[in-house]
Structure 1
Amino acid sequence: MKTLSPQDYYGSVVAALKQKNVLPGGEAMMEAILAVLPEGAGRIIDLGCHTGWVTRQLARAFPQAEVIGVDHDPAVIEVAREAARLEASGAMFACAEGASIEAAACDADVVVCGGSAAFFKRPEDVYRTVAGCLKPGGLLVDCHYVYDADVPPALRQKEREVFGLGWMPDGLRDIVAVYDAAGLTVTAIRRLPQFHFDDSAAARLARDILHAVPKMQELVEAMAERRELIGALASHRHPYLLVAGIGKPATAEGTAERDIANAIAALDLFSMPIARQPVETLRGHTPHRFRAYVGNPDGLPGGGRAVGALARSLQTCGAAPDARVLDIGCFTGLSTVVLANYFSDVTGLDIDEEFIDVASCVGNALASGARFVVGDGAGTGFASGHFDAVTMTAISLSVRRPMALLAETRRILKPDGLLAEFIHHHDRERPQESDGATTGADDVRMSLSRRLAVFEKAGFDLVDLSIVDTGATSPTEQAALRDYVRHREHMLDPSKTRADLQEFSELFTRYGGQWSGEIAKSIAYLCVFMKRRHGGSW
């Protein structure tokens, strides 16, 4: 067996010892996989099934489905079939690689890849094949280890040599970039707790027994060496579950009709503190300032509902009800007020004094516990380690100095502090302006992989990602809101002429429609990052 490649040798050892193929993250990852699979899945493929443990768990959880494990190694397929026979499992197995994978895995509702991607020599080709195998609406459920930036290079090199790894992605950004190239779109990412193998007494006894069996000593020693290496790597890596599909996810289309009555009430509430201004002044407003003038508080993907989801995600990731939260770029205060319903110590910060004045008035009108202060997110003035969590609403890549903003955020967060932000993915990118100046969250167009790279470079690790309904208004909704604000403007400022009101309507259509049109072209994600303890960059 020593004449085999490291990858094939490892597979042969596992097959000979009949080891189960533990996922990145162990059995906790299996639970996470089952939690995201659609109930009606009729055909499930376990790609790189190895000895079939994952395949058999899938068959047990989905007895009505056709569950097929696929692997290129005949030895492990033989072991998988034997184990399925002994367990009376409905799981089936096929030996396939290269082009034959498509024939074995075609028309799949779900393709599960339980960590085998580390052995792909050409990952983009494999994932392109996966995309071709999925039915419309089908899912890829993919498991990976993602390594800390400070993992010793010698340890990773030894891992490559001993296991015969083919693909060693440099952070989540590399994995997502390969998905993009293969035609797959991320819908969810979740980090699980670090996983360590337990070296139980039973395991040690089994090794001692096998070691005494003729011709088994080499295999036992080979497996012991690899388990020792896995143990050394355990503190430097986190298991991740990624879910992806083909095409634009339905939840990102933003087609849900808003409650117009509630939208109008919000417009009235958030415009209340702002004095009416002549059209000549409004004509020079930036899109954000004009939206503040008309009272539109939804300068973020999804509005108040999305901020509620953000708050719940922070709680799921460990933020306590008494967490100290800073909402950077709070605009006219909607996000801060919503956050204050979940956390007892919330401060909204914005560089524009007029926005803070509006936010304070709205907060007082709603008897909110939120506080509001004028300040620059790139230089807040707060003490280091002051906050448990920082939130942003699609501003981190629309500001003039995004890295300065993220550096300041990292400074004011406690160790393991959380950063929650809405970010956008664009299929077609447009370079950032030379000075970084922008007028809206979508003006800097990037793919998700490039956006993640910015946060990784700034010292943050993604722990949770989910799709957000962008809340983009339809043309019908836009027309209804335009007609309302035009009528309201006429009532509040009778001095405006018919021509003034017509221009006001055009400004509303231009700025409101621009926002809705832009976010309808992108996919919005709610991301929760954790401050990396050791700092540094990838």
Structure 2
Amino acid sequence: MQRIPEPELMNEPEQARAYAEADFSAPHDAFVAHFRQRFPGFAGGAAIDLGCGPADVTMRFARAYPEAAILGLDGAQAMLDLGRKAVDAEGLGQRLTLQQCCLPDTDLPPRAFDAVISNSLLHHLDDPAVLWQTVRHVARRGAALLVMDLMRPASAAEAESLTQRYAADAPPVLQRDFHHSLLAAYRPDEVRQQLDAAGLEQLRVEAVSDRHLLVWGTIHV
């Protein structure tokens, strides 16, 4: 099945509220668990979350690593407005900063971060090289990188089946977005080609569920 791109930004107020109010605890806790498993030596430092949305993963990462200072970036102001309220409510404002940013952004500090994380951004990018170029720009040598994203199904029928399995009880806007996101996601072999073209051959790509893939490793460039 060929990839069908979707809009890069999720800036509709209804859309942002639906994401902020939804229970993504299972995949988002899994994200942090994947990071812990693959980087057991990481204890803290400067971290950046690319495409943080309403900051749910960002806050879970902050709670898991109390010695980390985290910058969350997103292009959608509606998402960030809700994220900032959540950060303030959690009392994480001293360690967690949210900033509007559309990639690529050459004003980001170079080689400044000990950890680079990203959840569900890649499939929004029509040019995936933007993400990998940003990773190379912001990551210190030796930084830990973990990117989790959806994985495009083999067929439209499988995409519909996954939508019914995982989003049947979700609000209509989330059902729609999940289905569209599956169609817009990249396959592991496509991501492998992206990494090789970006000079990030050391990073690993693996499927970790019937709908998620991980890109992870230590940055050496």
Counterpart residue type for residue 138 of structure 1: A
Q: Cα 1:87–1:162, aligned 2, differ >3 Å: closer, same or farther?
A: closer
Q: Which residue of 2 is the match for residue 67 of structure 1? A: 70
Matched, 1:86 2:89: yes
Q: Is 1:241–2:220 an aligned residue pair?
A: no
> Given the alignment, which residue of 149, 161, 184 partners 2:200?
184
Q: What displacement does 1:52 show? A: 0.3
Change (3 A) 1:144 1:98: closer
Give 1:115 deviation, angstroms. Answer: 1.5
Paired with 2:26 and 2:193, the residues of 1 have a C-alpha distance of: 20
CA contact (8 A) 2:53 2:79 kept: yes
Structure 2 residue aligned with 1:432? none
Given the superposition, is the C-alpha separation of residues 27 and 164 from structure 1 closer, same or farther in structure 2, using an over 3 Å criterion? same
1:51 equivalent in structure 2: 54
**CA distance in structure 1 between the partners assigned to 2:61 and 2:201 by the alignment:** 23
Once residues 163 and 95 of structure 1 are traced to their aligned partners in structure 2, the CA distance between those partners, rounded to angstroms, is 26
Where does residue 31 of structure 2 map in the other structure? 29
Post-superposition Cα deviations, 1:426-465, rounded to whole Å, max 9, x if no partner, equal: xxxxxxxxxxxxxxxxxxxxxxxxxxxxxxxxxxxxxxxx
CA, structure 1 residues 39+6, in 2 after alignment: closer, same or farther (shift >3 Å)? closer
Q: How does 1:369-380 map to 2 (within 5 A)?
A: none
Deviation at 1:82, TM superposition (A): 0.7
* Mapped contact 1:47–1:113 kept (Cα < 8 A): yes
Identity of aligned residues (%): 19
Corresponding position: 1:172 with 2:188: yes
> Structure 2 regions of 5+ residues with no counterpart?
1-5, 164-174
Distance 1:29 1:99, change over 3 A: closer
Q: Confirm or deny: 8 A CA contact 1:142 1:241 kept in the other structure.
A: yes
C-alpha contact 1:29 1:192 (8 A) present in aligned 2 = no
Pairing 1:386-465 to 2, within 5 Å after superposition: none
Compared with structure 1, are the counterparts of its residues 170 and 68 closer, same or farther at alpha carbon in structure 2 (3 Å cutoff)? closer
Distance in 2 between the 1:166 and 1:147 partners? 5
Q: What are the residue-to-residue correspondences of 1:92-491 with 2, within 5 Å?
A: 92-100=97-105, 103=108, 106-152=111-157, 155=160, 165=181, 168=184, 170-194=186-210, 238-247=211-220
Deviation at 1:141, TM superposition (A): 0.5
Aligned-pair RMSD on alpha carbons?
Answer: 3.4
Q: CA contact under 8 A between 1:6 and 1:162: conserved in structure 2? A: no
Moved over 6 A (4+): 158-164
Conservation of the 8 A alpha-carbon contact between 1:115 and 1:143: yes
Distance across 2 between alignment mates of 1:85 and 1:73: 19
Q: In 2 relative to 1, CA 166–102 (structure 1 residues): closer, same or farther, beyond 3 Å?
A: farther
Note the C-alpha offset of 1:154: 7.8
Aligned pair in 2 of structure 1 residues 35, 167: CA closer, same or farther (>3 Å)?
Answer: same
Which protein, 1 or 2, shows the higher relative CO under an 8 Å CA cutoff with sep ≥ 6?
A: 2
The 1:161–1:84 alpha-carbon spacing in structure 2 relative to 1, beyond 3 Å, is closer
Q: Which whole-Å CA distance do the structure 1 matches of 2:48 and 2:183 have between them?
A: 21
Contact kept, 8 Å, 1:24 with 1:143, in 2: the verdict is: no
Cα deviation for residue 29 of structure 1 reads 3.0
Counterpart check, 1:15 vs 2:26: no
Helix, strand or coil: the match of 2:190? helix
Is the contact made by 1:72 and 1:97 (CA closer than 8 Å) also made in structure 2? yes
| Cα distance, 1:41–1:110 mapped onto 2, change above 3 Å | same
* CA distance in 2: counterparts of 1:186 and 1:168, whole angstroms: 25
Given residue 53 of structure 1, which amino acid in structure 2 is its aligned partner?
Answer: D
- Structure 2 counterpart of 1:109, one-letter code: D
Aligned partner of residue 21 in structure 2, secondary structure: coil
Return closer, same or farther for 1:30/1:150 CA change in 2, 3 Å cut-off. same
Cα 1:176/1:127, change in 2 over 3 Å: same
2:42 corresponding residue in structure 1: 39
Distance verdict in 2 for CA 1:24–1:130, change over 3 Å: farther
Offset at residue 98 of structure 1 (A):
2.6
1:176 shift after superposition: 1.1
- The amino acid across from 1:32 in the alignment is H
Mapped partners of 1:26, 1:59: distance in 2? 12
Are the structure 2 counterparts of residues 21 and 62 from structure 1 closer, same or farther at C-alpha, using a change threshold of 3 Å? same
Instruction: Give 5+ residue unaligned stretches, structure 1.
Output: 195-237, 249-538
- 1:85-106 Cα distance to aligned partner (Å, 9 max, x none): 1011232111111343651675
Q: Which residue of 1 is the match for residue 169 of structure 2?
A: none
The normalised TM-score by structure 2 is 0.74
Distance 2:176 2:190 in 1: 17
Cα displacement (A) at 1:182: 1.5
